Copies of this chain bind each other. A is one copy, B any other.
Amino acid sequence: MILRHLLLPEILDLVESGRLNDVREFLAQQPGPDIADLIPALEDKDQVIVFRLLPRHLADEVFSLLEPTSQNLLLQSMAQEEVRQVLAGLSPDDRTALFEELPAQVTKGLLGLLSDQDRKQTLTLLSYPENSVGRLMTDRYVTVDPQWTASRALEHLRQVGTDSETIAMVYSIDEHGRLTDDLRLRKLIIADPAVRVADLLDGHYACLHSLQDREDAVQVFKKYDLYALPVVDADGILLGIVTIDDILDVAEAEATEDFHKLATVRPLQVNFKDATLGLLFRKRIGWLIGLVIVNIFTGMGIKMFEDTIVAVAALVALMPLLIGSGGNAGAQAATLVVRAIATGEIDSGDWWKLLLREIGVSMAIGLAMAGAAFFLGWALGDLKVAAVVSISMVTVVVMGSLMGTVLPMILNRLKLDPATASVPLITSMADILGVLIYFSIANALFAYFNAAMR
């Protein structure tokens, strides 16, 4: 961030005055991540100019660090031979990430530019389901033979390591290609050079399955505190590895998706900053229109009580308070449960306990809020209105909270995404319930007061 602001004016100045050789020299001195940070901040045409000026190895690094949106822009402006070079320089997992963001037509064209081996591998990786662990894999890992000595294994690493994504972990496989163990590089380094690799292995290893949801992978990485995890198929065959830097990106992307879903924004797929007006419209309008329809029931509910409303207009003034409070308490409950499910903190075994606790919490909250609402009802209406409002408040808050707790659990049980129990959905459902509860209690209490006065 800081560096972007430092580099930007300098580069722009040089580019505009046409001193491209100076730009070239200047850029060659900068670390790749800083250049990758800078490029999206430039005008489209300058992005291409700056990228072209990078020396080969730096260009490969910078390209792999860019977002797919910027990558696509650069690819479009490149000659075929350049595209071929850039694609060949990408690691398998970065290539998958780029291809899955591009339109099918573009992907098809780009695949033709890959070497036979790379094309086959890319197609294999893209054949794994979206959001599966398989899509994150790279085959750039190192395997060692248990019969080797530690020094022979290190010598092997020295020869093949340059090309691998990480050498923090190396793996042993059997003659069928099945994973048999993992080994931290540090153990290999620290070991007596003459010791056999087999003696360093402990038979314990953690691994991911290629078809597993990538969200699960985040939890496995958290549990084992490893930098890389091997990925196997149903037969235990080692297919590739996933590295923790990609998992950090996945954790952030999955959290962002949940944030958006909780606010009824469908997953954007691109950066918020890069989203077009049309895309934002499409991702936001669906649920909003759906919730309009839910509001038909709220409206019908209110219509049923039109006589009460005309008789005691002060009740209307307090209606937003009541239905709002039910929605707010429900939003809290839903968010707590949705997030706890996403981070793996709770599973279905805990549900009854959580539900009981929520009944207690929401009763306490409802009572406290009823106290506040009583005075508000008195101020805007009279003591009778105050009584109606405070009794309704407890009921509405408890009902809203339970709905917020139960709905994500049910969705999860049905194998649907718990985050679909969005705050606006809970709020809208609390509206319907709130209106019915509020005016029913009002009707009943006013009938009672009137009878008592006769």
Contact = CB atoms under 8 A, between A and B. Distances in A.
Interface in A381-416: none
A42 interface: no
Contact of A431 (B287, B296, B324): B324
A364 interface: yes
Interface in A208-265: 218-219, 221-227, 244-245, 247-249, 251-252, 255-256, 258-260, 262-265
A162 B184 CA distance: 12
A323 interface: yes
For the residues of A in contact with B, the DSSP-based class is helix
Interface string A343-354: 111110010001
A300 interface: yes
A271 interface: yes
Interface residues of A, number: 118
A45 interface: no
Given A167-B189, A252-B251, A376-B296, A277 B328 contact: no
A197 B373 CA distance: 71
Given A263-B331, A325-B288, A33 B223 contact: yes
A284 B331 contact: no
Contact of A222 (B249, B321, B337): B249
Contact of A328 (B223, B252, B427): B427
B264 A262 contact: no
Given A161-B189, A265-B335, A285-B365, A317 B344 contact: no
A55 to B, nearest CB: 13
14 contacts: A33-B224, A36-B223, A154-B189, A157-B190, A168-B185, A225-B245, A264-B332, A272-B339, A280-B361, A289-B369, A289-B372, A299-B380, A300-B317, A328-B424
Given A218-B252, A256-B343, 5 more contacts: A259-B339, A260-B339, A265-B332, A271-B345, A272-B339
